[in-house]
């Protein structure tokens, strides 16, 4: 019989988390679709969505699209605190509600808002073996924190943000 640690480690080994800037406007949606497909082909079937506007919601939406034709894929909505949904309006609110309805599970990391974003980001890193990011290398903010934590924890990071320096070569 497997111990709870064995079960959690097995779950972590097939889990991907997303982190990214809220200013994301869809610039990597095609790359993200291809990456989700590739990750599923490699055995990653559980996706953690931090549910913030911008990259998180876009990534969650793409996983939900993929999940529609691949029912073995799991979408987990990871909310930082109770009542987080109240911060959304307009199209973001509609996207949020749709993702919650399509999620296989919802995890609320904290009852209180104070410190909840960091706790949510810790949860994402601690429960995934790959972090997919949209990070512009700015040293501050939740995305930078999450990537630093992932690297310190030896969790693979895949950054989809285009690097203009690569165009110079």
| pLDDT tens, position by position, 54-64 | 999 999 999 99
| pLDDT tens, position by position, 92-105 | 999 999 999 999 99
Q: Are 16 and 132 in contact (CB under 8 A)?
A: yes
CA 15 to mean position of chain CA atoms: 10
Would you call 104 helix, strand, or coil by DSSP? coil
pLDDT at 95: 94
pLDDT at 10: 62
CA distances from 151 to 24, 36, 120, 146, 154 (A): 22, 21, 17, 9, 5
The domain ranges of the chain are 4-160
CA distances from 45 to 41, 42, 144 (A): 9, 9, 25
| 4-160 under CATH 3.40.50.450, yes or no | yes
Record the pTM.
0.89
Query: Do you know the residue count of the chain?
Result: 169
């Amino acid at each position: 019989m497997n111990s709870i640690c064995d079960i959690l480690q097995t779950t972590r080994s097939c889990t991907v988390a997303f982190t990214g800037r809220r200013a994301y406007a869809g610039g990597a949606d095609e790359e993200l679709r291809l990456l989700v497909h590739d990750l599923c082909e490699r055995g990653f079937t559980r996706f953690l969505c931090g549910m913030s506007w911008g990259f998180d919601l876009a990534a969650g939406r793409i996983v939900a699209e993929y999940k529609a034709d691949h029912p073995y894929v799991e979408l987990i909505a990871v909310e930082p605190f109770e009542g987080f949904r109240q911060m959304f309006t307009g199209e973001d609110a509609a996207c949020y509600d749709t993702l919650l309805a399509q999620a296989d599970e919802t995890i609320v990391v904290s009852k209180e808002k104070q410190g909840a974003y960091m706790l949510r980001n810790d949860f994402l890193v601690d429960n995934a073996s790959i972090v997919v990011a949209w990070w512009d290398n700015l040293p501050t903010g939740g995305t930078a924190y999450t990537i630093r934590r992932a690297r310190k924890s030896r969790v693979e990071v895949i950054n989809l943000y285009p690097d203009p320096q690569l165009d110079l070569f």
